[in-house]
Structure 1
Amino acid sequence: MGLAKSSLGEDEEIVLEFHPHWSTLVGTIFWAVVTVAVAAVAIVFIPGGSAQTLIRLIIAAVAVVVILVVGLIPFLRWVTTSYTLTNRRFVLRHGILSRSGRDIPLTRVNDVSFEHNLIQRILGTGTLIVESGGENGQLVLKNIPRVESAQNHLYRIVEELTDGDGVKP
């Protein structure tokens, strides 16, 4: 669910499209598995009796609701968050029911940098920092996959747009 081709301007091409790194879903998956395990144990150890079936159904229903809240919503948030780098702008789109977006023309980008610690390096993720002129100034994007590659692509295109002399046409 990236940038629609119809949203591209004349002679604008998509260079790179991505979502936040998959590692952002690790906590979500962990809590979904814990919920299933706890519900399964609770259902197995319900003592026999006339209300046993009803209690099992209630436990299962609560587990399903918890999984939807803990698992589905963060997953939808991840799926609907997209970053697109074109040869003219950097585009951020996010939102499940209502959408928000931010476009940064590459001619306004002043600096592009990245950060990642050892674990992020092992996972292939990091934080991309894009400094631009204007009201909003700095854009900090966390959990960017292949952050060094994204930073290199962005920097290279900004350099091409400035003709390498720091002067933007």
Structure 2
Amino acid sequence: MGSPSGPPFDPDDPGRDRRERDTEPIPRYRPDDGPAYGSGAGPASGPSFSDDAGYGDVPGFGGQGRTWVRDPEAGYQPPVISEEELSGLRSDSQGMAPRRVLPLEDEPSSLVARYLFPTERYRGEWKRHWIHLATPIVVGVAATFILGYLSGFLAGQDVGALTTIAVLLWFAVMGWVAWKVADWWYDRFILTNKRVMVVNGIVTRKVAMMPLARVTDMKYEQTPTGRALNYGTFVLESAGQEQALREIKNLPNPNELYLRVVEEMYEPQAVEARLGKEADEAKADDGA
């Protein structure tokens, strides 16, 4: 076995004691060590620290971060963490960590399930924002007031045929409004781990899709009204070509939806891990 490296031992070396003190191992902090270091109680009664002391020495933190601070009078003190920094780590009243996106149904609706193949993982479906119905609703309300007043006026003029026409016209307008509402109800934007889809139509069904792997650019736009009412228009591009699924108007919660699509495109493993953890927590809650 070889000899230890370093200069030969010299008992008269004036710096030997200082070097030995500097190279002595520093014991780690133990909660039951007593008063803080530097309080005059001696090294054995206060907390001691290793070179890597940090959040890992404080219960609840993960081994990296700010270290304890040495006060000349009070000795070593724990790092000060503001309420704002802690707020992001706290759970809500239901024990769930804060989340940026809203929870979705675990299973697709019967309307959507028929368009998914077995190995595809469902991520969510969205109806368009209610602003999509603004024009039919305005037309229906206006027709009710105008044709109602006209019917009453014509009834007083003893022109029964015109009154009947006004009433039939009101029924036609209300039928058109009901059709638009039904069309809005069956119109869905769908996200899976493979693609985005739009399914719409009542009598004639239309299914448009774009693989996530083909999406080269994605953005959403919000007008001032859209920002106030929380809806927007999504624009998808694929290799600079015009696509059937390029512009999708009046989608709700566009920022949340944007985060979901981008996460599915760039961090699919993280999505799987998060959903798996949530499923395990749900099973644990059901078992409890």
1:29 to 106, 128, 137: 137
**Match of residue 112 from structure 2:** 4
Give percent identity, aligned residues only.
24
What is the SS of the residue equivalent to 1:29? helix
Confirm whether residue 66 of structure 1 aligns to residue 176 of structure 2: no
Residues 101-135 of structure 1: per-residue CA shift (max 9 Å, x gap): 11211122222211112210111101111222485
* Contact 1:3 1:84 survives alignment (8 Å): no
1:43 to 148, 151, 157: 151
| Alpha-carbon spacing, 1:161–1:110, altered in 2? closer, same or farther (3 Å) | farther
Q: TM-score, normalised by structure 2?
A: 0.50
Deviation at 1:54, TM superposition (A): 4.1
2:237 to 131, 142, 147: 131
Structure 1 unmatched runs, 5+: 164-169
**Match of residue 217 from structure 2:** 111
| Alpha-carbon spacing, 1:9–1:134, altered in 2? closer, same or farther (3 Å) | farther
Any runs of at least 4 consecutive aligned residues in structure 1 with deviations exceeding 6 A, and if so which? none
2:207 to 101, 116, 137: 101
Output the CA distance in 1 between the equivalents of 2:155 and 2:186.
43
Q: Residue type matched to 2:255 in 1? A: E
What is the SS of the residue equivalent to 1:72? helix
2:183 to 71, 74, 77: 77
What RMSD, in angstroms, separates the aligned Cα atoms of the two structures? 2.5
Q: Residue type matched to 1:25 in 2? A: L
Q: TM-score, normalised by structure 1?
A: 0.82
Confirm whether residue 17 of structure 1 aligns to residue 125 of structure 2: yes
Of 115-124 and 60-69, deviating more is 60-69
- Per chain length, whose mean CA-contact separation is higher, i.e. which structure has more relative contact order (CA < 8 Å, sep 6+)? 1
What is the SS of the residue equivalent to 2:182? helix
* Contact 1:13 1:86 survives alignment (8 Å): yes
| Alpha-carbon spacing, 1:6–1:68, altered in 2? closer, same or farther (3 Å) | closer
Higher strand share: 1
2:194 to 73, 79, 88: 88
Output the CA distance in 1 between the equivalents of 2:227 and 2:112.
31
Q: Residue type matched to 2:264 in 1? A: I
Confirm whether residue 158 of structure 1 aligns to residue 252 of structure 2: no
Q: Residue type matched to 2:237 in 1? A: E
Q: Residue type matched to 2:123 in 1? A: V
Q: Residue type matched to 2:260 in 1? A: H
Alignment: residue pair count: 161
